[in-house]
Structure 1
Amino acid sequence: MRWILGFALAALLTSPAGGAGPSYSVTELGGIGGLSRSVVARDVNDHGQVVGDIRARLGDRGFLWDPDNGWVGIGDERTPTSTAQGLNNAASVVGGSRFGRAFDPDHAFLWTQAEGMSGLSGLLPRESGFSRARDINNHGMVVGSYYAEDGERAFRWSPSEGLGGLGDGVDGMPGRAFAINDAGTVAGTVHGDTRSRAFVWTDTAGARFAPDGESVAYGIGPSGRVVGAIIADGHREAMRWDPSTGVRGLGQLVAGAGFSEARDINGDGVIVGRAVGREGMTAFVWTEARGIRPLEALVEPVDDGQDPLRLFSAVAISEAGHIAAYGRYAGERALRSFLLQPRGAARSQDSSGDGAGALQ
């Protein structure tokens, strides 16, 4: 395993946080892909296990990485390519794979290390065209999207009920479901003729949409708070949407930069994503106490002899505070993926999700 970052001490001392607050230790997802292949993380669970994709010339291949046991590829000889998009605490993985021929469209799958890969009933190759699963909760409920004759549609799926829709307002519009929490609440985005709108769906209340304006949703926390981005005049601003209180913009890393988007939120209200920073696209972390900050500024320096690293995007955060992110070492072209673990941070026992007792 490769430990980093040598350059982070200077960033820590000059960051908006002023050097205060806990830092993260960083571990590269070692042994994956070789030096010439990019590795892109997609999700992380409470055990620090990470899923993502190895990008290769002949097609991507999904993987599951474990801090103790290293990595395993997702798929077998039947699946020439695959993408791993989400996992739960049981290490059940979902994504999309080309069952059969290399040029077939992706089809949604569920994978476990014990049973291997299987297609989701109702979304098997003979039952639909393209489909991709994007998230799975700890009850085995899955969300994603598939292509129908009139465009892409969001779906939810459960082991007991199989394929299901998301009701009026979502089923009738093109869109994607991106995230589901353990309560079964779904977050995603529908696409109209001129704009996109974030939605949240529950079994009791059906679909609700973010207030007027264009928006997208990518993640959801245990309390039902949704994260994504507000879109206006060609600019994106990361947002947190509480369906009971409304939408809140989270700001930009650089004033006037015009791009930030939130990808995930945990029960402590800590939000991660990416934004344009002073050196280009930069991973960020947001808390109620300190707002939006570049994740690089919170990384604990380990060894001054290591190559400098840029973190481009933080894609997921677990309830244990683990962050999955990807970036690139100086002088290299291949992307690398990393597990960030908070050091010296006491997690809040308050379930309100306001971030007040989480990472400061």
Structure 2
Amino acid sequence: MESIMKSVVIHRLLLAVTAISAAGLSSLASAQNAEYELVIIEPWDLEYRYASSSASGINNLNQVSGCAKPLEGSCSFLWTRETGKVQIDLAGVINDAGVIAGGNQIRLPDGGMISTGLSQAFGINEANVVVGDTTGRYWGGCRWTRTARVWDEINGMRSLVDLGVPSAHQARSINESNQIVGVVSTTGSCGDFEAFLYDLDTGEHVDIHELLLGGQSGITEAFDINDAGVVAGEGPYGRNIGEVGPFIWSRDAGFQFLPAMPGGTTMDTHARAINNRGQVVGGGIVDDQYWHGFVWDEINGMRDLNDLTEGIPERFMVDMAKEINDNGWIIGSGHYGAWSPERAVVLIPIGGVNCDAIRQFKTSCGNGKLKVLVKSSLPRGAELTIDNDGDLRTLTIGKGGKGKVKYTGQSGRHTVSIVECGQHRAEVDCG
């Protein structure tokens, strides 16, 4: 018996050494082909054994909202690369104006607070329209009963059930066109989610679940929607309820299922967010039986963020990517080993555009010609991608840090932005 126990101990030690060595090699490999720099937002008190931190939102100014424990008073912080984390009094999702929605309140940039009545806030757009839910009692001991809600300063809190989405359970994201995505729960039991889209301006309800399954049973979820109306979610593919995977969906393109993570399966790969560049992030379980964060795009496909990130400490793993802004900055979670407390992480693209160098972003339109002008301190030859309602053009910076691009044959209203620097966005009317 003693020899058997020794063998078991030796075997476990060998497994531990192998895992640690693999983690070290992974960090080394990622540094050689790095596309992201890792920033770990540590807890306020590192002396506390169970100290943790989590990131809940990021905007296009690269401001991160989150919570770091333990701390007397509020655990909430606002983090930027320049200031580090600064204690504030609310954490949650954050828009480009710096308005934070969390719990049953929103926090204005001047520190003022407004009550929303929500239990949880999951999304906020630039018009300060907030989506989330209210929570009731337990249902059958399985989970809280919830009702999807939307709040704005004029109308207050409204139920999506009353607005025309039967059994709306959670509203999880809202874009700049006031399109809301989330899930309904028809029975109140675990695991019966069905994805939906609701247009707050027109009142249209799109049953994404029905579009995918055509009346069959199964679970579908919608987590995020970008300004082009592309939804990131998950559900059965090939109408086979036994095979579940991450998808993106839009009215024009329909469903596109994403591949599994390298070393994983689609069943264990979960999409959580999509930005206006079409990049999708999330996480999944791979061969080592641990969660790994991922990023996906049409060109590069599905990739493990741990293979793309430099500065990963030994035994640390980026295990979930929660959100990605239009600059490509990613927030998520990581751990020092399988059972350690969570750490908030920020993954910053290496060699990206210095958005702070853009001094002016100007649009104009006349006689069907839409013009975009950029003034900056960017080096000559630097390239920016201009997005005119999905029509992408390259703007090259010339002498004096200036660059321009022109669209012809334009009419009606347009939303124009710099893809790499999502905070630079404008509405222009071409008549």
Given the two structures, how large is their TM-score scaled by the length of structure 1? 0.63
Residue-by-residue CA offset, 1:211-266 (whole Å, 9 max, x unaligned): 14231111111011111013224321111111354111101844555551101111
After TM superposition, give the deviation of residue 188 of structure 1 in Å: 1.4
> For residues 243 and 120 of structure 2, what CA distance do their matches in structure 1 show?
28
Aligned to 1:97: 134
CA distance in structure 2 between the partners assigned to 1:5 and 1:290 by the alignment: 28
Matched residue, 2:295:
240
Amino acid at match of 2:183: S
- Note the residue ranges of structure 2 that are not aligned, 5 or more in a row: 1-41, 47-79, 357-377, 387-391, 393-417, 424-431
Q: What residue is the counterpart of 2:193 in the other structure?
A: 152
Alignment of 1:52-201 (within 5 A): 52-53=102-103, 62-75=104-117, 82-98=119-135, 105-121=145-161, 127-128=166-167, 131-149=169-187, 151-159=192-200, 160-166=202-208, 168-169=211-212, 173-190=218-235, 196-201=244-249
SS in 2 for 1:169: helix
Q: Which has the higher helix share?
A: 2
Q: What's the counterpart of residue 50 of structure 1? A: 100
What's 1:288 paired with? 349
Match for residue 60 of structure 2?
Answer: none
Equivalent in the alignment of 1:266: 325
3-state DSSP of counterpart to 1:284? strand
Distance 1:109 1:98 in 2: 10
CA shift for structure 1 position 176: 1.5
Q: Which amino acid aligns with 2:156?
A: G
Distance change >3 Å, CA 250–CA 139, structure 1 → 2:
same
Separation of aligned partners in 2, 1:354 and 1:74 = 32
Percent same amino acid at aligned positions? 27
Corresponding residue number in structure 1 for 2:254: 206
Please report how far the alpha carbon of residue 209 of structure 1 lies from its aligned counterpart in structure 2 after TM superposition. 0.9
- For 1:49 and 1:231, how far apart are their aligned partners in 2? 34
Structure with the bigger RCO (C-alpha within 8 Å, sep 6+) is 1
Write the deviation string for residues 137-196 of structure 1: whole angstroms up to 9, x where unpaired. 111100011113582111111021432122643675312211111111111122686664
Query: Which structure would you say has the larger Rg?
Result: 2
CA 1:7–1:282: 2 relative to 1, 3 Å: same
State the TM-score, normalized to the length of structure 2.
0.53
CA RMSD of aligned residues (A): 4.0
Is the 1:289–1:356 contact (alpha carbons within 8 Å) kept by the matching residues of 2? no
AA partner of residue 119 (structure 1): S
Give the Cα separation in 2 of the matches to 1:196 and 1:102: 27
Instruction: Kindly state the Cα deviation for residue 123 of structure 1 after the two structures are TM-superposed.
Output: 6.6
